[in-house]
């Protein structure tokens, strides 16, 4: 179709496609969420842009604004405000200008970070997986784990894929999304309760997912990992290497195992070992006193059938104890490969 017959939106989408991914992303970062959606929707239907079409689009732009090329050019906020008003109208221009101003609210999604998980779920209800993934990236990990557990399986799978492939989100887009979701939260609740904050650095989406799964129920962790295995085995293995699960206790040094088991009751150890491998059982028994080992073994033999969910929850407490002691610097949760020979005593 000739360039003259294209609508302004079609022309804009064609120019963005011509710019390439990196430069187009830089342009979209300065637009409102609604405008990004509009252009993205059009770009989906934009086919190949020939060199001739690209040249015509550029010539039209030059011709349209060539009258001002000989004048002295002065930028600044006032200039941007005027050009945006002419392009999108005063209301939408104001929304774009809000994104260009410095963020005065501190960390992203402060209102959601201080809200209870059920309230956050209410806010995210109906949002697409991409939005949910961005929010989870910035939430405290325990809250993000609750959100992940509360999602329907198909939505959770999409969120996991988007989260694990996510780079640090574009600040302007995060700022606009924060504003929209805060407004939505305000309509749901009258006030926010304070919560302990956790600084967010430039961590990968994969690392974020691992930290969230570390706080999630074992069934959610297992379900997510199984999904990744079917979707992308290599990516699943990469995530698996960063995770610490119950059987990974085999990787701890004996002195660290001794430190961990001192934090647990014999009954908790017995329940945790109910489905454990023989190697792990041997490691635990080798790092408690002889009498304690006998009592744990007797607990296991006498407890009879026990719900899998109970075993998983107790194993999760075991793993949580390992993580806590590692965070306190009392044990080393990730030993070197060369230390494997020291693990068997």
Q: Tell me, what CATH number does 334's domain have?
A: 1.10.220.30
118 and 207 in a common domain = yes
54 and 11 in a common domain = yes
181 and 287 in a common domain = no
134 and 29 in a common domain = no
Terminal-to-terminal C-alpha distance of the chain? 76
Is residue 258 situated within a structural domain? yes
Structural domain for 229, as ranges: 110-242
List pLDDT tens digits, range 15-56.
Answer: 877 877 777 777 777 776 667 767 777 777 777 778 888 888
Of the three residues 216, 242, 268, the one that is the final residue of a domain is 242
Is residue 70 situated within a structural domain? no
Is residue 11 situated within a structural domain? yes
115 and 228 in a common domain = yes
- The answer for 46, left when phi > 0, alpha when psi is -120 to 50, beta otherwise, is beta
Of the three residues 192, 215, 242, the one that is the final residue of a domain is 242
Domain count, the chain: 3
Please name the helix (run of DSSP H) or strand (run of DSSP E) that holds residue 148, with its range, or none.
Answer: helix 141-150
231 and 122 in a common domain = yes
Is residue 310 situated within a structural domain? yes
234 and 160 in a common domain = yes
143 and 252 in a common domain = no
91 and 131 in a common domain = no
- Distance between alpha carbon 213 and the CA centroid of its chain, in Å? 11
238 and 115 in a common domain = yes
Of the three residues 208, 242, 276, the one that is the final residue of a domain is 242
CA torsion angle 158 164 167 172 (round to 10): 40
Is residue 8 situated within a structural domain? yes
CB of 141 closer than 8 Å to CB of 214: yes
114 and 30 in a common domain = no
For residues 124 and 151, give the distance between their C-alpha atoms in angstroms, rounded to a whole number: 10
Is residue 71 situated within a structural domain? no
Q: What is the mean pLDDT of each run of 10 residues along the chain (345 residues)?
A: 75 80 73 70 75 82 61 51 60 55 60 84 85 88 87 88 78 78 74 39 57 67 79 74 76 90 92 90 92 90 84 87 83 55 33
Is residue 105 situated within a structural domain? no
Residue 69's Cβ-side half-sphere holds a number of Cα atoms within 13 Å equal to: 7
pTM above threshold 0.85: no
277 and 223 in a common domain = no
List pLDDT tens digits, range 59-106.
Answer: 887 776 655 545 444 455 555 556 556 655 665 555 555 555 544 445
């Amino acid at each position: 179709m000739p360039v003259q017959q294209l609508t302004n939106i079609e022309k804009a989408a064609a120019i963005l496609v011509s710019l390439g991914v990196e430069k187009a992303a830089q342009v979209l970062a300065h637009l409102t969420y609604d405008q990004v959606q509009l252009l993205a929707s059009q770009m989906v239907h934009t086919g190949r842009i020939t060199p001739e079409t690209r040249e015509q689009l550029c010539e039209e732009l030059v011709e349209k604004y060539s009258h001002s090329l000989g004048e002295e050019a002065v930028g600044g906020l006032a200039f941007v405000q005027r050009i945006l008003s002419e392009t999108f109208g005063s209301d939408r221009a104001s929304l774009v200008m809000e994104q260009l101003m410095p963020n005065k609210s501190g960390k992203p999604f402060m209102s959601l970070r201080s809200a209870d998980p059920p309230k956050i779920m209410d806010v995210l209800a109906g949002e697409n997986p991409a939005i949910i993934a961005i929010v989870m990236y910035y939430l405290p990990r325990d809250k993000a784990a609750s959100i992940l557990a509360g999602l329907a399986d198909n939505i959770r799978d999409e969120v996991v894929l988007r989260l694990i492939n996510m780079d640090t989100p574009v600040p302007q887009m995060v700022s606009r999304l924060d504003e929209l979701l805060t407004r939505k939260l305000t309509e749901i609740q009258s006030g926010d309760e304070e919560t302990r904050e956790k600084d967010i650095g430039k961590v990968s989406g994969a690392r974020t997912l691992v930290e969230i799964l570390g706080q999630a129920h074992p069934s959610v962790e297992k379900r997510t990992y199984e999904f990744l295995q079917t979707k992308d085995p290599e990516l699943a293995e990469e995530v698996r290497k960063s995770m610490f699960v119950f059987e990974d206790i085999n990787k701890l040094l004996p002195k660290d195992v001794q430190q961990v088991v001192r934090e647990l009751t014999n009954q908790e150890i017995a329940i945790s070992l109910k489905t454990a491998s023989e190697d792990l059982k041997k490691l635990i028994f080798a790092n408690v006193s002889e009498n304690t080992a006998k009592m744990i073994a007797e607990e296991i033999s006498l407890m009879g059938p026990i719900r899998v969910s109970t075993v998983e929850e107790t194993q999760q407490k075991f793993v949580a104890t390992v993580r806590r002691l590692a965070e306190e610097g009392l044990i080393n949760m990730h030993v070197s490969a060369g230390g494997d020979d020291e693990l068997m005593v």
